[in-house]
Amino acid sequence: MNTIQSLNLPLTYFLWHYSLAWEDLFRLYRNFSWFLWNFFSIRLLLETLIAPWHRRKEHPDKDTAGILGSFILNSILRLVGFAIRFIAILSGLAALAFFSLLFAVFVVLWPFLPIIAAGCLVSGVVWLLAL
């Protein structure tokens, strides 16, 4: 790398950091949010919220006890399916909310990161020289 390129590097970095990087940050946020939404299958779980667990279904016999027993068993399977899907949906939404909160903090800190990095570098050099 020649001297002119070396001098141009900090300027190029600052131009990228305060202009193009914002678009990249929001694209990353959109991609990670899409990943979390699909990883937890939130839409699919909402669509099948009251379906029986593992699509199991008891078919009633011809007598009254069989009909009542299958109704109770099918109701229990739907409740179990609802509970597990609801917990999975809440977990996914909590992960999305936590990620959004972290992203908001990161966006607030982003303009100050070069200053923070320079400050850490200077304090590290001062600490090393003090030894």
Residue 39 has pLDDT above 70, yes or no: yes
In a domain, 103, yes or no: yes
Domain-embedded: residue 9 = no
Alpha-carbon distance of 26 to 78, in angstroms, equals 39
Domain count, the chain: 1
pLDDT of residue 63: 60
pLDDT score of 105: 96
Please compute, for residue 128, the number of CA atoms within 13 A of its CA located in the half-sphere on the CB side: 6
Dist CA 126 CA 19 (whole Å)? 32
Residue 1 pLDDT greater than 60, yes or no: no
| 110's tokens | 């982003």
Give the predicted TM-score (pTM) of the model: 0.76
The whole domain housing 44 covers: 16-130
6 in a structural domain: no
